[in-house]
Amino acid sequence: MKLNILASAGSYPGPGRVCSGYLLSSHDTQVLLDLGNGALSNLLKVIDPKLLSGVIISHAHLDHYADMIGLYHYFKFAHTPPHPVPLYGSSEFFDKFHHLIGIDEDMRSIFSETIITEGGFGKIDNLSIAFSQSNHPPETYISRVSDGKSTFCYSADGDESINLALASNEVDLFLCESTWSKKGSNHPAGLHLDARAAGEIAQRSRVKHLVITHIAYPQDRDEVRVIVSKYFKGRISLAEDLDSYIF
Q: Which residues bind Zn ion (CB under 5 A)?
A: 61, 63, 157
Contact between residue 37 and residue 6 where contact means Cβ atoms under 8 Å apart: no
Smallest separation (angstroms) from Zn ion to the CB of 83: 30
Q: Which is nearer to Zn ion, 23 or 193 (CB)?
A: 193
Q: Which is nearer to Zn ion, 67 or 157 (CB)?
A: 157
Q: Which is nearer to Zn ion, 59 or 209 (CB)?
A: 59
Smallest separation (angstroms) from Zn ion to the CB of 90: 12
Which residues, in sequence order, are bridge partners of residue 144? 130, 153
Q: Which is nearer to Zn ion, 60 or 145 (CB)?
A: 60
Sequence letter at residue 128:
S
Contact between residue 11 and residue 63 where contact means Cβ atoms under 8 Å apart: yes
Smallest separation (angstroms) from Zn ion to the CB of 65: 10
Query: Looking at residue 51, what DSSP letter applies?
Result: G
Which residues, in sequence order, are bridge partners of residue 246? 2
State whether residue 90 is helix, strand or coil: coil
Smallest separation (angstroms) from Zn ion to the CB of 10: 6
Q: Distances in Å between the alpha carbon of 117 and those of 52, 79, 122, 162, 244? A: 23, 30, 10, 17, 29
Smallest separation (angstroms) from Zn ion to the CB of 194: 14
Q: Which is nearer to Zn ion, 63 or 159 (CB)?
A: 63
